[in-house]
Structure 1
């Protein structure tokens, strides 16, 4: 399964377009997309020893290039550029003939999600599996206020803590720090639910907001600038389709 589309990012004095792709495929099917990879990406893939790592890498690169294809010039050859790594492992677009684009990548199990965006308007995305066995370890990553907030909306602790985790992780991707930042510094100070979306704001990063979609087994969160009007209708619909076909 592969779903793709665009997300309109409306500001008071400007409008931007982001592209997204949601992929759910096993490694055998992902191997059918190798033609979009840059030679350096092929070399990196072939050096990976384990199928799980190969699958994660392909989910990320295939979804990233598909998402970028929604916003870069249509005549761009996907194998002509690569999605490399920054010093903290965040994705970096290299050798693309047109500049000014970046991408946020996340993957879990056989699912890969990427959102490509203009550098002028950052976005971060994260997906995590709801796993009751991780409740105790995740609990230590949150403040008591965050735990109270999440439990007030989600009765299941695994879902509540996974939501908190994905929200923070999606913000860390905008900051390009990943897990190298103290998660308490990414503390949430509000949480709400409306029209199928959980929305959150941050204590120390008030210029950003986050939206989360809770599926049967996964939670997906997107963080973007606070004053952006973002329409996630189609993105959420595609995630729901993915959920129904799981």
Structure 2
């Protein structure tokens, strides 16, 4: 059993690296993925190094056989998280939510359990954007408001007011992307994420 778990972790790790290279290749126009290397920064955050030696920030997430990554210009900070809805202990997730967040989730037009998972991915993606990871109390990433859009949800944060988090909920997975509030994403963001999740 341990051997199978180890193989699954290696596969997930490699999928994440491949996703990061693919995302970065679209950002910088490098088609040969062999020219791209994923290394770790001082806080173990992923960092992509291109063949010319330039470094490009990336954020990686993987859950089971699914990986997601976002590459972005150095002047921005972003974070991404993807979670399989059936692989997470919902009761444990609930213990990491503030009372305010539980009330917010209970008002969403989705099940309470899926709402909790959406908030979990939103908070984890923020932790990656600010490069603290899960080393801080989860309450510091508190979500104070959720705005429903046709294909995704937008969350704002109590203590990190300069960021917003965009979340898309599929049947089996939830994915969240945290970006600076002043940044703009293509209008088709939600539709593209929904199409991606529908294939899983």
TM-score for both structures, normalised by structure 2: 0.88
Between the two structures, name the one with larger relative contact order (CA 8 Å, sep ≥ 6). 1
**Matched-pair contact (CA < 8 Å) for 1:190–1:201:** yes
Unaligned 5+ segments in structure 1 are: 1-48
Cα shift at 1:201: 0.5
Greater than 6 Å deviation, 4+ residue runs: none
Cα shift at 1:154: 4.2
Instruction: Tell me the distance in 2 between the aligned counterparts of 1:108 and 1:184.
Output: 23
2:97 aligns to what? 142
* 1:42-81 equivalent positions in 2, closer than 5 A: 50-74=6-30, 77-81=32-36
**Matched-pair contact (CA < 8 Å) for 1:131–1:158:** no
Cα shift at 1:189: 1.1
**Matched-pair contact (CA < 8 Å) for 2:38–2:46:** yes
Number of residue equivalences: 196
Unaligned 5+ segments in structure 2 are: none
Structure 2 CA distance for partners of 1:72 and 1:243, relative to 1, 3 Å: closer
Per the alignment, in what secondary structure is the counterpart of residue 228 of structure 1?
Answer: coil
* 1:1-246 equivalent positions in 2, closer than 5 A: 50-74=6-30, 77-94=32-49, 96-97=51-52, 99=54, 101-131=56-86, 134-231=89-186, 233=188, 235-246=189-200
Per the alignment, in what secondary structure is the counterpart of residue 190 of structure 1?
Answer: strand
